[in-house]
Amino acid sequence: MQLTRRDMVRLGLGTLAVSALRPLPGLFAQSPVHTKDIPSSGERIPIVGIGTRDFGGGSPVPREEYKEVLRQLPELGGKVVDTATGYQGGASETLIGELVSELGNRDRLFLATKVNASGKQAGVSQIEQSFQRLRTNRMDLIAVHNIRDTVTQLATLREMKQAGRIRYVGITTSFENQYEEFEALMKTQTLDFVQVDYALDNRVAGARLLPLAADRGMAVMVNLPFGRGRLFAAVQNQALPDWAKEIDCTSWAQIFLKYIVSHSAVTCAIPGTRRVPHLVDNIQAAQGRLPDAAMRRRMEQFIESV
């Protein structure tokens, strides 16, 4: 059985309980949110953002809660919002565009989306549609989703970057069977960002792709930081270990995220986030003490033992 974050909250298994949509401001006043550099520019972004694959598209989550997530994100010190043209058939981009427009906080967000098309014209059309759905005339980051027709799409993205419509370009994957091709592209293409799957129980990218990103001066965004739900399932009957206090963690989600963002090559993790309590919990992983090398080994040993 695999537990989702929703299951963990429902069962009270180690996640932060938050009763109100608007958390108390003082909760986060004690510790600043950590940021890291984007190597190609020196711009700093918070180390925890949000993934929006499940935004919209008939979700049971009320529209107002999605809106509150996007309102609270910059208030709590976050910034990065990751989406894609294919998420929920475009409904994710559309909803984000509507809500950000209503909130009027576009300038406080780092909007990242993806193109997933074959052929130049198909890619151009898809990218233009993303601009329309997200209601913005300038995108912070557009990446080639799951390295589909990468060279063609990167050429288009670079043209748009040169024209000032896109600030950063990159490539993404969530699948180990794409790593060989992904690695080759990292070695031959000039990229601002790469996005890869990486988790406490899924460390292949950490050994293979993250060191290359550091060598090549590429920012790293991490998807699936909870291991597609496996990590929550693995600890469902476990109390938080005593060493969690040493890295200022009060939930399993914070432990899993702090492992990710403490890797020197990782710029930002983007856990899927639809609920305000999850956002509050996740952002706390961007605060306080981060694991050092010895603690990271301890965390790896722990997850291997459960």
pLDDT digits (tens, 9 = 90+) for 161-192: 999 999 999 999 999 999 999 999 999 999 99
For the segment 107-153, what is each residue's pLDDT rounded down to a tens digit? 999 999 999 999 999 999 999 999 999 999 999 999 999 999 999 99
Q: How confident is the model at residue 48 (pLDDT cuts 50, 70, 90)?
A: very high
**Would you kindly state where each structural domain of the chain is located, as residue ranges?**
46-305
Q: Torsion angle, CA of 124/128/129/135, rounded to 10 degrees? A: 160
Asked if 185 and 150 touch (Cβ cutoff 8 Å), the reply is yes
For the segment 149-164, what is each residue's pLDDT rounded down to a tens digit? 999 999 999 999 999 9
Which pLDDT value is given to residue 205?
98
Q: Which two tokens stand for residue 249?
A: 């963690």
DSSP letter (8 states) at residue 281: H
Count other Cβ atoms within 10 Å, centred on residue 169. 24
Whether the per-residue pLDDT at 1 is higher than 90: the answer is no
Dist CA 142 CA 145 (whole Å): 9
Q: Whole-structure pTM over 0.75, yes or no?
A: yes
Selected residue with higher pLDDT from 294 and 57: 294
> Rounded mean pLDDT of 3-17?
41
For the segment 255-297, what is each residue's pLDDT rounded down to a tens digit? 999 999 999 999 999 999 999 999 999 999 999 999 999 999 9
Instruction: Please state whether beta strands 193-197 and 166-172 pair in parallel, antiparallel, or not at all (unpaired).
Output: parallel
What does residue 269 show for φ and ψ, rounded to 5 degrees? -105, 145
Q: For domain 46-305, which architecture applies? A: Alpha-Beta Barrel (3.20)
Which pLDDT value is given to residue 24?
38
Which pLDDT value is given to residue 4?
53
Angle between helix 63-75 and helix 91-103 axes, rounded to 10 deg: 60
CA atoms within 13 A on the CB side of 37: 8
Selected residue with higher pLDDT from 301 and 26: 301
Amino acid at 169: V
Which pLDDT value is given to residue 130?
99
Q: Which two tokens stand for residue 194?
A: 């790469």
Kind and range of the H or E element at 142? strand 139-144
Count other Cβ atoms within 10 Å, centred on residue 105. 15
Give the whole-number percent of the chain exceeding pLDDT 90.
88
Q: Which residue has the tokens 């990159």?
A: 170
Count other Cβ atoms within 10 Å, centred on residue 1. 6
Dist CA 140 CA 48 (whole Å): 16
Kind and range of the H or E element at 140? strand 139-144
Selected residue with higher pLDDT from 15 and 252: 252
